[in-house]
Amino acid sequence: MAGDTGPTTAHPTSSHWGVYEALVRDGRVVGVRPDPRDPDPSPMIGNAPAAQHHATRVDRPVVRRRWLENGPGPDPRRGDPDDEYVSVGWDTALDLLAGELDRVRREHGDAAVYGGSYGWASAGRFHHAQSQLHRFLNTLGGYTRSVNTYSHAAVEVLFPHVVGAAGTHDLLRRAPTWEAVAEHTELLVSFGGLRVSNTWTASGGRAARTAEPGMRAAARAGTEIVSISPLRDDTAAGLGARWLSAEPGTDTAILLALIHVLVTDSLADTAFLARFTTGWPELRRYVLGEDGGTPKTPEWAGAISGLDADVLRALARRMAERRTLVNVGWSVQRSRYGEQPMWAGIALAACLGQIGLPGGGFATGYGSSGNYGGGATPVAPPRLPQGTNPVDSLIPVARVSDMLLHPGEPFDFDGRRLRYPDIRLVYWAGGNPFHHHQDLARLRRAFGRPDTVVVNETHWTATARHADIVLPATTTLERDDFTASQGDLRLRVMRRAVPPHGSARDEYDTFAALAGRLGVGAEFTEGRTSAEWLRHMYEEWRGRQGAAPLPDFDAFWADGGVDIPHRVEDAALFGAFRADPAANPLGTPSGRIELYSETVAGFGYPDCPGHAAWLDPAERPGSARSGEWPLTLVANQPDGRLHSQQDMGAHSRAQKVADRAPVRLHPADAAARGIAGGDVVRLFNDRGSCLAGAVLDDGVRRGVVQLSTGAWFDPSSTEVTCAHGNPNALTTDVGTSRLSHGCTGQLALVEAARVDGPVPPVRAFEPPRITGPAD
């Protein structure tokens, strides 16, 4: 065939999940080739070819017919799978959107625009959707923003009270390198495991994959690994890790019991506690039950967690005898009262007295991100300047439904009393809230409230299908860019591989055109084209590297990248504080690690008291709700993709069972419900339901079912909330606590049943009905 005869060319690029080359023939991506320097590439790069040219690509600007005909306004039918879109052409779409932005700002003020727009978008640092959107909205006059992340909001908000802001930054960025772990750490106890597939990902992509080789080298060097988790495969086979299968959501009880043993066995490092912490007497009283509460004994924790009391006792003693690193993974805080296991984790490490010693102490992020433990560089990659947001209106990111449903209502947040703004226009670019948010039925109601929803997307995600105006964005493979992740050692050129799909545009051009219509074109562009911005950002960054002789832009571009000047951090985390706490105090009121915080206690939040405490969550085995909903759903990160991105790709599709997301169950739980491998299963609770395909696995703790996030939300069936298997049909939309309002999507109580008879088809990958001319 003539069309198949062109030469195949290779184009270097980067995704958050790997550095690779796109193989292109006749203008189409036909394959991928891993970066030659990556010895163990992630299979997720295999999703790119099918995703690039999929039928769900947004190929032209469209407007939802009901909005076009009725004008802006709340619409409970927003997101109706049968809604029709009208192809209007770029000029009309931009005119309509500019007019609506202008109307909302004039009538309701800039705070009525929600530009929170959370999401991972793509890896390139210039064509980064949020950066572009935020720069545009700031140029215009500002917007209501979101703060903190779905990933680890409880860490971000709690730890400044516990170790100070700089200490929190260090905890998230400067953990002991895997080399230091191999050299110094005798025992690594990880709550939430060290899930290898999670380390395939790092924001921006990563030139060198260091996590999996690092953990293997540590295991070879003799680091003993204990994984406390509901899934056996949260640690790689071959690490020789010991799996302690615990009930999800019970880590705080386990951690408090380990502290209890250290105290009663006189193994707690009282000299360390006295010198480097404050609040130990309060925590100690609580743990021992001297405050009138239950003593937090191993027997007490054993009954809650399912771990044997003697196992906990032996573990605590072993930790005290060895150089021990306590890692509490981010998943552990992504549920109700998620602040508590973090605070209890650092309290345990403080009792062991090893914080500040090489390879010892506390960490949070091994097994959660590819760059954690990879060493740090003091140099951040180039970044598009975003200007300043003159509007002082914000929400904690996971409170989006509350905000839209309860305008004007007050809420508590980290000691402040704030009010939800009255949002009239929601603008999302580079994120998929109908992937990431909890209780999607509630989110759908919330998305019915604003006057107008605007989404820039590469694909027809469920979020795009809840929008009134949808603007097609180019993908990474359609633009020139560069990228590096935090701690990366190389800034890499990403080269355009294929022409834009349909009439998709770079978001920079979209926002420049909108800014022009709204009278701020010159401020937004500063007179530069995309290509000129790349050069400008690079040269500006190069200029900041001082003495380091870096190549100029043309040489950088020709070479395909530049090594980033760096320094591998070998100083122990909190080492300076330990060496001289008077000279190097932490940024807390006491200058020490606050095991009890007067500040947090002073907020008076029952859901986050002044020290780590066991607060019994509703969504856990053994709770009152668990009588009706006896299974604990673990909604962890998918190993076939990043979140919802490229779910239609070959690697992700190959994992589906009966066309749906795979749900893993213990064979005994399956047998009790007459479920066999390959069956379609309905998971349900009082919030919603979804279908999934059964996989039986005795590496799943009994009573637990695992359904990873990221199956494209499919509300097309009237019988279930999602026909495809998105776990957020089942999760609860309540924050971790009033302190941080973190995401609680990781755990939910559910029941499961086999589906007999006709099963609704999966329609997630069908684009919506579009009328009108192709643009």
Ligand X SMILES: Nc1nc2c(c(=O)[nH]1)N[C@H]1C(S)=C(S)[C@@H](COP(=O)(O)OP(=O)(O)OC[C@H]3O[C@@H](n4cnc5c(=O)[nH]c(N)nc54)[C@H](O)[C@@H]3O)O[C@H]1N2
Catalytic residues: 118, 120
Smallest separation, CB 145 to ligand X (Å): 16
Burial of 28 from C-beta contacts in 10 A (0-12 / 13-18 / 19+): middle
438 binds Mo ion (CB under 5 A): no
The CA distances from residue 683 to 617, 638, 719, 726, in Å, are 21, 18, 12, 10
Shortest spacing between CB 69 and ligand X, in angstroms: 26
Q: In 3-state terms, what secondary structure has residue 419?
A: strand
Region 492-511 residues binding ligand X, contact defined as CB under 6 A: 507
Which residue's CB atom is positioned nearest to Mo ion? 151
User: With contacts defined by CB under 6 A, how many residues of the chain interact with ligand X?
Assistant: 65
Q: Which stretch binds Mo ion (CB under 5 A): 150-158, 197-205, 307-315, 461-469?
A: 150-158
* Separation of alpha carbons 666 and 673, rounded Å: 11
Query: According to the binding rule CB under 6 A, does residue 339 interact with ligand X?
Result: no
Tell me how many degrees the CA angle 223-227-228 measures, rounded to the nearest 5. Answer: 145
Please identify, using beta-carbon distances, which residue of 431 and 610 lies nearer to Mo ion: 431
Shorter beta-carbon distance to Mo ion: residue 438 or 525: 438
Binding mask 605-644 vs ligand X (x if CB under 6 A, - otherwise)?
-----------------------------xxxxxx--xxx
Q: Which is nearer to Mo ion, 58 or 194 (CB)?
A: 194
661 touching ligand X, by CB under 6 A: no
Kindly state whether residue 305 participates in binding ligand X, applying the rule CB under 6 A. no
- Find out whether 643 and 18 touch, Cβ atoms under 8 Å: no
CA angle, residues 209, 212, 215, in degrees to nearest 5: 130
Q: Which part of the chain contacts ligand X (CB under 6 A), choosing from 137-145, 326-334, 560-568, 597-605?
A: 326-334
Closest of 638, 574, 383, 388 to residue 486, by C-alpha: 383
Q: Which is nearer to ligand X, 301 or 473 (CB)?
A: 473
Of 14, 139, 144, 229, the one binding ligand X (CB under 6 A) is: 229
Query: Hunting for tokens 């020709």 — which residue is that?
Result: 558
The closest alpha carbon to 646, from 33, 42, 34, belongs to 42
Q: What's the min distance (Å) between Cβ of 210 and Mo ion?
A: 19
- Pick the binder of ligand X from 14, 131, 456, 525 (CB under 6 A): 456
Among 193, 609, 621, 715, binds ligand X (CB under 6 A): 193
Ramachandran category for residue 563: left, alpha or beta (phi over 0 → left; psi -120 to 50 → alpha) = beta
Judged by CB, which is closer to ligand X: 356, or 373? 373
Contacted by 534, from ligand X, Mo ion, none: CB < 5 to 8 Å by type: none
Dihedral sign (CA 113, 118, 123, 125): positive
> Pick from 635, 529, 473: which is nearest to 58 by CA?
473
Q: Which of 230, 359, 361, 610 binds ligand X (CB under 6 A)?
A: 230
Per CB under 6 A, contacts with ligand X among 32-91 are none
With CB under 6 A as the contact rule, the residue among 429, 593, 720, 749 that binds ligand X is 429
The span of 149-157, 298-306, 451-459, 739-747 binding Mo ion (CB under 5 A) equals 149-157
Instruction: Using the structure block, give the residue that is written with the tokens 């213990």.
Output: 666
Residue 432 contact among Mo ion, ligand X, none, beta carbon within 5 to 8 Å by kind: ligand X
Nearest to 355 by CA among 626, 171, 603: 171
Distance CA(57)–CA(64), nearest Å, equals 17
The CA angle 666-667-672, to the nearest 5 degrees, is 105
> Is residue 430 close enough to count as binding ligand X by CB under 6 A?
yes
Q: Does 741 bind ligand X (CB under 6 A)?
A: no
| Residue range at the interface with ligand X (CB under 6 A); choices 57-65, 79-87, 328-336, 515-523 | 328-336
| 151 is an interface residue for Mo ion by CB under 5 A | yes
Structure tokens at 90: 């770029």
Structure tokens at 217: 């080298």
Cβ atoms of residues 683 and 403 within 8 Å: no
Shortest CB 172 distance to Mo ion, Å: 12
Query: Could you say which of ligand X, Mo ion, none residue 431 binds, taking C-beta under 5 to 8 angstroms by partner kind?
Result: ligand X
- Distance, in Å, from the CA atom of 663 to the CA atom of 674, rounded to the nearest integer, reads 15
668-676 LR contacts (CB < 8 Å, sep 24+): 668/702, 669/631, 669/702, 669/703, 669/705, 669/752, 670/694, 670/696, 673/752, 673/753, 673/754, 674/754, 675/752, 675/753, 675/754, 676/754
- The smaller minimum CB distance to ligand X, of residues 257 and 586, is found at 257
- The least distance separating Mo ion from the CB of residue 624, rounded to whole angstroms, comes to 30
Q: How far is CA 561 from each of CA 159, 203, 385, 483, rounded to the nearest angstrom?
A: 36, 18, 21, 9
Shorter beta-carbon distance to Mo ion: residue 14 or 151: 151
Residue 7 Cβ, how far from ligand X at the closest point, in Å?
A: 28
Residue 52 or 151: which CB sits closer to Mo ion?
A: 151
Q: Which is nearer to ligand X, 130 or 278 (CB)?
A: 130
Neighbours of 258 (CB within 10 A): 28
Q: What is the DSSP letter of 110?
A: G
Piece of 93-101, 177-185, 223-231, 685-693 that binds ligand X (CB under 6 A): 223-231
Our finding on whether 459 is near ligand X (CB under 6 A) is: yes
Q: Rule CB under 6 A: is residue 192 a binding residue for ligand X?
A: yes
Distance in Å, CB of 369 to Mo ion, minimum: 8
User: Can you count the helices (H) and strands (E) in the chain?
Assistant: 26, 30
Q: How far is CA 323 from CA 171, 222, 227, 310, in A?
A: 18, 12, 17, 21
CB atoms within 10 A of CB 25: 15
Question: Can residue 198 be called a binding residue for Mo ion (CB under 5 A)?
Answer: no
Cβ proximity to ligand X, 377 vs 432, nearer residue: 432
Phi-psi region of 710 (alpha: psi -120 to 50; beta: other; left: phi over 0): left
Residue 473 binds which one of ligand X, Mo ion, none, with CB within 5 to 8 A depending on kind? ligand X
Can you read off the two tokens belonging to residue 627?
Answer: 């009588």
Whether residue 401 contacts residue 446, with contact meaning beta carbons closer than 8 Å, is answered with yes
Compute the least distance from the CB of residue 698 to ligand X, in Å.
15
Residues that bind Mo ion (CB under 5 A): 151
Residues that bind ligand X (CB under 6 A): 119-122, 127, 129, 150-151, 191-193, 195, 197-198, 200-201, 228-231, 234, 246, 248-249, 251, 329-332, 334-335, 367-369, 429-432, 435-436, 456-459, 461, 473, 507, 634-639, 642-645, 709, 727-728, 731, 743, 745-747
